[in-house]
Amino acid sequence: MKILIVGAGLSSSVIAHELAKQDCINSIDIIDSRDHIAGNLFDYIDENGVNVHKYGPHIWHTNSEKIHKYMSNFTNWVEYKHKVKELLNNGEYVTIPANKETKEKLDSLGLDVIETLFRPYSEKMWGIPLEELNPDIIKRVPIRDDLNDLYFQKDKFQGFPDKGYTNMIENMLKNDKISIKLNTKFSSDMNNIDKYDHIFNAMSIDEYFKYSEGILPYRSLKFHVM
């Protein structure tokens, strides 16, 4: 069998790595429209020796020992516990997501948790009034009733790949069956059964359907490198 995988991010790389171990698979072509592998996880060492996450910081965190053990086949880890503080107008800091201490501090100042912490960030991030957001989005960052100040409170495994995410993905894709073509966009003729027996496609779904139902309202960020 000959396989095509569209996209060279994490999920695609896991698929490629697992398929390459199967005797029935002869070759796997991975294409990506960007000029690098690793998708949004892509990182690199700059001229100052600093590891830069090009598309914003990505923190490895999971509570699954099975998943962490699997990923540890491709990297060692630097332990890191993520903590976030928000600066209030009076110069004091409070923990995000809000915990018991945060709520008590805001109550003492006569401030509302939703209006102070949730509304400004959520409306800036999603570009719509808070009332129009799906409630499940707000529930992703619950208000806690304890004093735990970790952002990923329940995840046992937290940190970064010791040599970066790009290196981790490179290790996943080290197999003679796998070939990678960058700066290569998916085209409909690749669906030809004579070319590939199966295609795993991780491209944007609205682009795949040629925007027949319009453009999906993806939200993103602008990064300024100082």
- Measuring CA to CA, how many Å separate 70 from each of 66, 73, 81? 6, 6, 21
Looking at the fold, whether 68 and 6 belong to one and the same domain comes out as yes
Is 7 found in the same domain as 108?
A: no
| Cross-strand bridge partners of residue 85 | 95
Q: Do 134 and 104 fall into the same domain?
A: yes
- pLDDT on residue 166: 98
Do the domain assignments include residue 148? no
> Which residue range forms the structural domain that includes residue 115?
84-139
The whole-angstrom separation of Cα 61 and Cα 35 is 27
Q: Which amino acid is at 46?
A: D
Residues 70 and 18 occupy one common structural domain: yes
For position 134, what pLDDT does the model report? 86
Distance separating alpha carbons of residues 150 and 165, to the nearest angstrom: 23
- What percent of the chain is helix, strand and coil (3-state, nearest 5)? 30, 20, 50
Q: pTM of the predicted model, to two decimals?
A: 0.90
Which residues is 157 bridged to in the sheet?
62
Burial 8-46 (b: 16+ CB within 10 A, else e): bbbebbebbbebbeeeebeebbbbbebeebbbebbbeee
Mean pLDDT of residues grouped by 10 in the chain (226 residues)? 97 98 97 97 95 94 98 97 94 94 95 91 88 85 89 94 98 98 94 88 94 88 78
Q: Looking at residue 132, what is its pLDDT? A: 92
Specify the amino acid at residue 9: G
Are residues 9 and 102 located together in one domain of the fold?
no
Q: Which of 139, 155, 184 is the last residue of a domain?
A: 139
Scanning the chain, the segments in alpha helix (DSSP H) are 10-20, 65-71, 100-108, 113, 119-126, 135-139, 165-172, 205-208
Residue 9 and residue 108 in one domain: no
Same domain, 20 and 68: yes
Query: Domains in the chain: how many in total?
Result: 2
